[in-house]
């Protein structure tokens, strides 16, 4: 038994963090965030060189064939730097959908293109995601109609996958197709947008090869939830690190503010919340390869708990910064909003906990 990261996983964290440290300084982050698309060509090609495009793509299809825990480690690093880039949907949920529900030909057609960074697929759910907004889709032959809001990783996406209520998935191109209307809006979190899809008899490829489509769809949704939890973990860690550093530098009443118990205890409270969160995220990612009920409860509890702990940590870390934390000057708000975004997507804490109760048969 060993509970922790492998050497390779530690190296993945280190190299991603190093890359983002260098390539995404505050002024660059601001510049990309102004557009609000959650995509930057230069950053994307840099990340391609880092090898994360194929993180979930099997080696047979040109990917790295890594585990969801590796992906969670990457999500944490991206959250730490509030990286304005597609990830949870485009590089995790989309390949997992193709692996679980695509036929061999579809896998051959799409997975290598995901691994090379050539396609970026946004993912939305008609029902079942537990988030607010419009979520209706119906399939007539291979023609898809409906309206889905709050689609993840839609900024500059080349394609979309929409899950239907019955667990089947439909894949279609983002542009140049009649009946497809994509509108991407800047969100509260300027590092990632929200996308709305309006579809009228759009031609789509059906990904329907899973034996149990509903279970397959749920597994993909839960994997996405673990990614958002991992992203929040990184963002919360980043806010804590900034608050700790600030508390050791900022002087008031002739003392650094970190010597005041009020501030010291706040930081102690944050780290006491934060470290167990990391273990929960790691476990939840690892558990997705195990028995279904355990996997479900772990993903749902991780999403819920990180949503709540993340919000609390974001507030406390902002408070430690005093008035400066409230301004745009420090840019701390990018992480605050990153955490807020992750909380609402794919089911907020209360919704996830309810699902966890159902999964454990506490209620029907």
Partner 1 sequence: MDLRYSSRHRALQEDARSFIKEYGHLSPKTGGGRKRPDARALDWQELLLERGYFARNIPREYGGFGLPVDIMELAIIAEEFSIAGVSPGIMNQGISMLVPTLLEVGTKEQCIRWIGPTIRGDIIWCQGYSEPGSGSDLAAAKTSARVEDGQFIVNGQKIWTSSAHYADMMFLLCRTESDKSKHDGLSYLLVPMNAPGIEVRPLVTMTGRAEFNETFFTDVRVPTDQIVMGRGDGWHVANVTLKYERMLLGDANKLTYRLARAVELMKKTMLAGRRFIDIPEYRERLLKLQGEVMASKYHGLRLMTEQAKGEDSGVKRLIVKLNGTMIAYRLSSLVVDVLGAAGLAYEPVGEASEDDEATTWQIDNMYDIGLIIGGGSSNIQKNIIGERGLGLPREPKSVPPAVRG
What is the DSSP pairing of strand 121-125 with strand 159-163? parallel
HSE-up of 39 (CA within 13 Å, CB side)?
A: 21
Residue closer to partner 1 (CB basis): 45 or 279: 279
Candidate segments 30-38, 150-158, 202-210, 256-264, binder of partner 1 by CB under 8 A? 256-264
Please give the Cα distance from 100 to 94 (Å, whole number): 10
Residue closer to partner 1 (CB basis): 174 or 233: 233
**140 neighbors 194 (Cβ within 8 angstroms):** no
Candidate segments 105-113, 219-227, 264-272, 310-318, binder of partner 1 by CB under 8 A? 264-272
**Which residues lie below 8 Å from residue 257, measured CB to CB, with a gap of 6+?**
246, 247, 250, 251, 263, 320
Asked if 265 interacts with partner 1 (CB under 8 A), we say yes
Using CA of residue 14, residue 85, residue 157, residue 40, what is the dihedral sign?
negative
Give the burial class of 178: count Cβ atoms within 10 A of its Cβ; 0-12 exposed, 13-18 middle, 19 or more buried. exposed
Asked if 214 interacts with partner 1 (CB under 8 A), we say no
**201 neighbors 144 (Cβ within 8 angstroms):** yes
Q: In the stretch 60-89, what mask flags binding to partner 1 with x, by CB under 8 A?
A: ---------x--------------------
Provide the CA 178 distance to its chain's centre, in angstroms: 30
**316 neighbors 262 (Cβ within 8 angstroms):** no
Residues in 290-349 at the binding interface with partner 1, rule: CB under 8 A: 298, 301-302, 304-305, 308
Q: Of 2, 7, 249, 328, which one interacts with partner 1 (CB under 8 A)?
A: 2
Residue closer to partner 1 (CB basis): 213 or 234: 234
Please give the Cα distance from 330 to 336 (Å, whole number): 12
Q: Of 109, 198, 280, 348, which one interacts with partner 1 (CB under 8 A)?
A: 280
Closest CB 26 distance from partner 1, rounded Å: 24
Q: In the stretch 217-246, what mask flags binding to partner 1 with x, by CB under 8 A?
A: ---------------------------x--
**Residues at the site binding partner 1, with contacts judged by CB under 8 A:** 1-6, 69, 244, 247-248, 255-256, 258-261, 264-265, 267-269, 271-272, 275-280, 282-283, 286, 298, 301-302, 304-305, 308, 350, 353-354, 356-357, 362-363
């Amino acid at each position: 038994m060993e509970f922790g990261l492998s050497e390779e996983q530690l190296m993945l964290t280190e190299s991603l963090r190093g890359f983002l440290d260098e390539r995404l300084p505050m002024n660059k982050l601001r510049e990309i965030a102004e557009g609000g698309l959650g995509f930057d060509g230069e950053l994307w090609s840099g990340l391609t060189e880092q090898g994360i495009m194929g993180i979930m793509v099997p080696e047979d299809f040109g990917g790295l064939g890594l585990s969801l825990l590796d992906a969670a480690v990457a999500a944490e690093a991206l959250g730490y730097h509030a990286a304005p880039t597609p990830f949870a949907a485009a590089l995790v949920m989309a390949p997992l959908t193709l692996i679980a529900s695509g036929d061999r030909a579809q896998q051959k057609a799409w997975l290598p293109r995901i691994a090379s960074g050539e396609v970026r697929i946004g993912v939305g759910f008609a029902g079942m995601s537990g988030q607010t907004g419009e979520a209706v889709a119906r399939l007539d032959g291979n023609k898809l109609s409906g309206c889905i809001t709050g689609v993840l990783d839609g900024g500059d996406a080349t394609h979309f996958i929409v899950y239907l209520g019955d667990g089947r998935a439909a894949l279609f191109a983002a542009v140049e197709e009649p009946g497809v209307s994509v509108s991407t809006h800047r969100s509260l979190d300027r590092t990632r947008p929200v996308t709305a899809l309006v579809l009228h008899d759009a031609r789509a490829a059906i990904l329907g090869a899973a034996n149990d489509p509903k279970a397959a769809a749920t597994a993909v949704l839960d994997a996405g939830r673990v990614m958002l939890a991992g992203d929040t973990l990184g963002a919360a860690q980043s806010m804590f690190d900034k608050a700790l550093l600030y508390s050791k530098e900022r002087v008031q009443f002739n003392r650094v503010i970190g010597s005041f118990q009020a501030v010291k205890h706040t930081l102690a409270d944050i780290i006491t919340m934060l470290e167990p969160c990391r273990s929960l995220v790691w476990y939840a990612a690892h558990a997705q390869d195990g028995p279904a009920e355990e996997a479900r409860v772990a993903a749902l509890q991780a999403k819920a708990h990180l949503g709540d702990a993340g919000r609390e940590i974001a507030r406390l870390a902002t408070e430690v910064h005093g008035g400066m934390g409230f301004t745009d000057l420090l840019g701390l708000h990018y992480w605050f909003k990153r955490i807020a975004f992750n909380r609402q997507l794919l089911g907020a804490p209360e919704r996830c906990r309810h699902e966890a109760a159902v999964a454990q048969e506490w209620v029907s």
